[in-house]
Chains A and B, each alone.
Chain A
Amino acid sequence: MALIDAPPLTPLPPAPALLSVSDLEVTLFTRAGQLKAVDRLSLEVAAGETLAIVGESGCGKSISALALMRLLPEPPAKITGGSVRLAGRDLTRLSEGEMQRVRGKDLAMIFQDPMSALNPVLTVGRQIVEVIARHDPASHRAMQARALELMRKVRIPDAERRFNDYPHQLSGGMNQRIVIAMAIACQPKVLVADEPTTALDVTIQAQILDLMKELQAETGMGLIIITHDLGVVAETADRVLVMYAGRKVEDGTVDAVFDRPLHPYTRGLMGATPSATLQPHGRLAEIPGSVPALADLPAGCAFNNRCPIAFARCFAERPGLTMPAPARSVACFAVEQEGVRHGDPVGA
């Protein structure tokens, strides 16, 4: 296999990337100065593939998603570098008008809170129809029929009756289904889901995740799931990208990353997740301290003040991404120097 020439992050077997982001940079212009909310982030998503972006609050995962959609709140945030290529087109160079035609049609997004993503004074059916009308206008009757079909597709029971309901008359899970129906209405190439199940109960979360997987299998769209929950990552993703303080610190296939997390932060996250530990009443591995604010990131590696294995170099320079294995990258000096034995227990 010509792995040498293949783009480094494509999984095996290599598939052509639908969406490829390279060196994306988002800067926040604040009174405290210019802060890099997203720092040289690169990622790729192939058709039918699910990429999970995982990290804690403030790591830049949601801002990255908004940047892909060109939905950043400007000011204070602004894309200051890099490119977002969707099927070969660089979205960062499109005009706002062109971008509006891409949004919802080629690239769709689901938000965390379905209630605030829907307009409370319009019926859910009408809101789906509006999305269709914007990108794919047809006769009113035809669009209504398609909206109904979409509602059935996302498994809304009694779709005909629900069509004329308002968001407040539906449960959180049902509303999230409506949001998904709107997102897939025009068969997007890539769907970005920002914490799509965080506001939902476990049993409903399982339903929604199943639904998203099914729809993906059916349409072959690329899926980016942004989450803080390693359980959701394990259940849904093909590949995972771990972010910390606006940077990618590790990525790889889920199996590879969960089997052998390389970055101390990834290892810490896994040790701190109760369901990943063995002893029901044992101590969870802690990551000391808390996520630093963007305004006071430490010099050198941003994780150095919480890292159990940090050494002098970590405080002096920022580690760049290295590739310890094919389709795997990590930003850590300890890994670079083989300081971490592969297969070390999580959180040790």
Chain B
Amino acid sequence: MAILSARSLSVHFDTPRGTLQAVNDVDLDVEAGETVGLVGESGCGKSTLGKALMRLAPATEGRIFVNGRDITRLGKGAIDAIRSEVQMIFQDPYGSLNPRHSVGKIIGQPLSVAGWKRADIKARVAELAAKVGLPEAALDRFPHEFSGGQRQRIGIARALALNPKVVICDEPVSALDVSVRAQVINLMKDLQAQTGVSFLFISHDLSVVEHICDRLLVMYLGRVVESGRAEDIWRRPAHPYTAALLAAAPVANPRLARTRAHKTLQGELPSPLSPPQGCAFHTRCPLAQPRCAAERPLLRGLAGQGAAPRQVACHFDLVDHQRTPDVTATGTAYVSA
């Protein structure tokens, strides 16, 4: 059973300029111990989806399940009881810590809200600090005395305080420097190996997502356009948008960057206040046909993908359009360009 799931989840906001369909009809499952990536560009609804799963944004339609229990309509008291199961790490390591509290107090906050005793909190905080590599002396200090990466460790320690089953990570490393980013990613992977926690990893950075995630969901204008194993998607994107995202991501290899065909996606993200009819991507899609403007493609399973479930919302089979990539089945031998 999935630890965290959503069924046909939609989040709509009423704005003075009309209804903003931030998230539309999203299905999602996070299993125990896995990392699910949620990728897309700004405005695709990935952050709102993360907040809706935490009940920080109201779900307009659909259901959210934690451990099989429907939490969509739970009241304040009941929802607080499941807070220990689902926690969150935020993007901004500067903004997500209260500058007026000591680090020890910040890490211990979920425990004190959950009603732990003072002595127990102290012991657990010390344990958490050691886990994320913060020295004991750090607990008396204030957030402004730490660098970005160190602050993100504090945020991680806070999220893990109550031993949650799932942590929703909203762009946890986007604000960090490259060298520090690697530290935080490695730390998250180590903690996952130790505690078996699941991550829902929200990010716009494909290289990070590819590196850390087992499965991926690609979102465009509030809808999931493709989902499946990260490796499969990375190697053979089935949706033209995914393919375009991969092609646009800069590659840290000058020779490869020079030789690979550059297909830059034209145009910009349409306003989510008035999404295009039919397939939301048809206005920018290099493969768009008249049918795409008329009819919205539903998420459908992809044939021939073996055991790994793979879904795509496109009328056409992009994979069949492509020449077979020079990739061996084992996936270890990437061919250099």
Contacts and interface: CB of A to CB of B under 8 A. Distances in A.
A109 B29 CA distance: 46
Given A203-B264, A286-B183, A273 B178 contact: yes
Contacts of A204: 41, 268
Interface in A267-294: 268-278, 280-281, 283-288, 290-291
A37 interface: no
Given A204-B268, A272-B182, A56 B177 contact: yes
Interface residues of A, number: 48
Interface stretch (A4-12, A92-100, A205-213): A205-213
A202 B42 CA distance: 10
B42 A201 contact: yes
B179 A231 contact: no
Contacts, number: 138
A205 B250 contact: yes
Contacts of A272: 178-179, 181-182
A234 interface: yes
A273 B207 contact: yes
Nearest to B150: A290
A215 interface: no
Interface in B155-194: 177-183, 185-186, 189
Contact of B249 (A202, A280, A285, A288): A202
A61 B185 CA distance: 25
Contacts of A35: none
A94 B177 CA distance: 36
A171 B268 contact: yes
A210 B262 contact: yes
A273 B254 CA distance: 14
Nearest to A229: B250
B245 A203 contact: yes
A269 B211 CA distance: 16
B208 interface: yes
Nearest to B133: A288
Contact of B185 (A258, A278, A284, A288): A284
Interface in B202-218: 204, 206-208, 210-212
Nearest to B206: A202
A233 B180 CA distance: 19
A274 B210 contact: yes
B230 interface: yes
Given A174-B268, A290-B150, A275 B177 contact: no
B265 A207 contact: yes
A234 B186 contact: no
B147 interface: yes
Interface string A164-206: 0000000101100000000000000000000000000111111
A308 to B, nearest CB: 12
Contact of A233 (B252, B264, B265): B252
Contacts of B41: 201-204
A131 interface: no
Chain A interface, DSSP helix/strand/loop, else mixed: helix
Contact of A57 (B177, B230, B262): B177
B255 interface: yes
Q: Which of A202, A229, A230 has the most CB of B within 10 A?
A: A202
Contacts of A254: 254
B114 interface: no
Contacts of A278: 334
A202 B245 contact: yes
A274 B37 CA distance: 15
Given A202-B204, A258-B254, A272-B182, A207 B264 contact: yes
Contacts of B256: 234
B324 interface: no
B28 interface: no
A128 to B, nearest CB: 20
Interface centre among A171, A229, A273 (most CB of B within 10 A): A273
B245 A277 contact: no
B149 interface: yes
B82 interface: no
Contacts of A286: 179, 182-183, 186
Given A173-B268, A234-B252, A277 B211 contact: yes
Contact of A275 (B149, B179, B207, B231): B207
Contact of B264 (A171, A210, A229, A268): A210
A209 B265 CA distance: 12
B296 to A, nearest CB: 21
Contacts of B244: 203
Interface string B131-160: 000000000000000011110000000000
Contacts of A237: 254
Contact of A276 (B185, B230, B252): B252
Contact of B252 (A201, A205, A275): A275
A204 B204 CA distance: 12
Kindly list the 4 A-B residue pairs having the minimum CB-CB distance in the complex, ordered from nearest: A231-B250, A272-B182, A287-B179, A275-B207
Given A56-B178, A206-B248, A269-B178, 12 more contacts: A205-B248, A209-B250, A235-B250, A258-B255, A272-B182, A273-B207, A277-B211, A283-B186, A285-B182, A287-B183, A290-B147, A290-B180
Interface of B: 41-42, 147-150, 177-183, 185-186, 189, 204, 206-208, 210-212, 230-231, 234, 244-245, 247-257, 262, 264-266, 268-269, 334
10 contacts: A56-B178, A201-B42, A205-B248, A206-B262, A235-B251, A269-B178, A272-B179, A273-B252, A284-B185, A291-B177
